[in-house]
Amino acid sequence: MPNLLDLFQGVGSLVDSDPKILCARLGLIALGVMLVFLGKKGVLEPLLMIPMGLGMAAVNAGVLFLDPQTAAAVSEQAVAKGAQVPGTLFMAPLVQQTDNLMYLMQVDFLQPIYTFAFSNGLIACFVFMGIGVLLDVGYVMARPFESMFLALAAELGTIATFPIAVWFGLTTNQAASIAMVGSADGPMVLFTSLTLAREYFVPITVVAYLYLGLTYGGYPYLIRALVPKKLRMIRMKSAPTAPISSNAKLIFAVVACTVLCLLFPVAAPLFLSLFVGVAVREAGLKEFENLLSGPVLYGATFLLGLLLGVLCEANTILDPVVLKLLVLGILALLLSGPAV
């Protein structure tokens, strides 16, 4: 009689795995289901959390024993004959060699999207284009110093977390990458970790988006805990600002994009993506505006959520560094939030 566990390999690989992996897989499946539930309830950001939660549950449930060729491509080394290597048919984020990558793109269904759009930051740029279309630069133009002061306060968590992360034993590049979580800007964290600490960009990005999703639900409670009711009751008057024409905003977008690219070429793709969105909005290109604020923004957000969920595979997440990243990430956000 054939072994039933060979037939239902998700269960078979669970039974066959070491207890640590088994607990992590079951825990991540439960966490994934919980993220979907909390997303539906509106406690967490649903646009990101529902695809992410489902991806997380599916990738940890759908582990099978890979055939020898795929196993060799995923592990990037020769596999002993008859060895049972567990893996998934979603994607293999850690593969580096071109031959293995080309082979896996024909096997893993999300590998092409991961390789061509996620690991080079294209998805982050798509999100920035969408944000650019929704962004009114009028306030920054009318009150540049107040805007910069707020932006600097938001980075306090980043600055304070950096030396703490080095003290935790991370290299300066890794420390800078995880400290960026304090800026509460997902695409920026993705971009920074890709540039500075490629070896940890998967766990750093996952930690960042997980916390940003939690922040959405948790900040009102944090503010209530930190700011007394008397202060929260003060009605803030917004000082009137002179109206700024769309021509002025368009010229500003072009000049600001060019100057910032000149000053910081390393972030030029993000500057271009953001300001092209602003330019489209201010030039009144309705067709492009609809394209960027609809299919591009929501398509990128959906794929981002799905890929982040699939990246939360037990083997990737069980790296001991992830625990440090979890502590440092929440610290950076907690320090930045009240400062703003």
Partner 1 sequence: MNTVKTALLVFSLGTAISFAVAGLIMVIGRVIRFAEQRTGDKS
Closest CA to 314 of 197, 203, 200, 213: 203
Closest CA to 318 of 119, 93, 23: 23
Q: Exactly one of 63, 74, 114, 155 binds partner 1 (CB under 8 A); which one?
A: 155
- Do 211 and 45 contact (CB within 8 A), yes or no? no
- Do 59 and 313 contact (CB within 8 A), yes or no? yes
- Residue 261 as a binder of partner 1 (CB under 8 A): the answer is no
- Residue 283 as a binder of partner 1 (CB under 8 A): the answer is no
- Do 94 and 75 contact (CB within 8 A), yes or no? no
Query: What letter represents residue 319's amino acid?
Result: D
- Do 87 and 62 contact (CB within 8 A), yes or no? no
Is the Cβ of residue 256 or residue 318 nearer to partner 1 in the bound state?
256
Q: How far is the CB of 128 from partner 1 (least distance, A)?
A: 18
Q: Exactly one of 5, 89, 122, 244 binds partner 1 (CB under 8 A); which one?
A: 244
- Residue 151 as a binder of partner 1 (CB under 8 A): the answer is yes
Is the Cβ of residue 112 or residue 265 nearer to partner 1 in the bound state?
265
> Which range in 8-16, 204-212, 241-249, 294-302 contacts partner 1 by CB under 8 A?
241-249
- Residue 118 as a binder of partner 1 (CB under 8 A): the answer is no
- Residue 69 as a binder of partner 1 (CB under 8 A): the answer is no
Is the Cβ of residue 109 or residue 149 nearer to partner 1 in the bound state?
149
> Which range in 3-11, 29-37, 144-152, 301-309 contacts partner 1 by CB under 8 A?
144-152
> Which neighbouring-strand residues pair with 97?
none
- Output 326-331 pairs: Cβ under 8 A, ≥24 positions apart: 326/207, 327/168, 328/161, 328/164, 328/165, 328/168, 328/170, 328/178, 328/179, 328/181, 329/178, 329/181, 329/204, 329/207, 329/208, 329/211, 330/211, 331/157, 331/161, 331/164
Dihedral of CA atoms 44, 46, 49, 50 in degrees, nearest 10, equals: 140
- Residue 246 as a binder of partner 1 (CB under 8 A): the answer is no
The three-state secondary structure class of 1 is: coil
Is the Cβ of residue 126 or residue 162 nearer to partner 1 in the bound state?
162
Is the Cβ of residue 69 or residue 258 nearer to partner 1 in the bound state?
258
The three-state secondary structure class of 244 is: coil
- Residue 252 as a binder of partner 1 (CB under 8 A): the answer is yes
- Residue 167 as a binder of partner 1 (CB under 8 A): the answer is yes
Is the Cβ of residue 61 or residue 248 nearer to partner 1 in the bound state?
248
CA-CA distance, 49 to 284, in Å (whole number)?
33
Q: How far is the CB of 242 from partner 1 (least distance, A)?
A: 8
Q: Exactly one of 147, 173, 195, 315 binds partner 1 (CB under 8 A); which one?
A: 147
Is the Cβ of residue 47 or residue 166 nearer to partner 1 in the bound state?
166
Q: Exactly one of 78, 251, 262, 323 binds partner 1 (CB under 8 A); which one?
A: 251
> Which range in 35-43, 86-94, 230-238, 253-261 contacts partner 1 by CB under 8 A?
253-261
- Residue 166 as a binder of partner 1 (CB under 8 A): the answer is yes
Angle at 199 between CA 194 and CA 201, to 5 degrees: 45
Angle at 264 between CA 259 and CA 268, to 5 degrees: 80
Q: Exactly one of 5, 22, 222, 256 binds partner 1 (CB under 8 A); which one?
A: 256
> Which range in 67-75, 181-189, 257-265, 287-295 contacts partner 1 by CB under 8 A?
257-265
- Do 257 and 271 contact (CB within 8 A), yes or no? yes
Binding residues for partner 1 (CB under 8 A): 140-142, 144-145, 147-148, 151-152, 155, 159-160, 162-163, 166-167, 172, 175, 244-245, 247-248, 251-252, 255-256, 259-260, 263
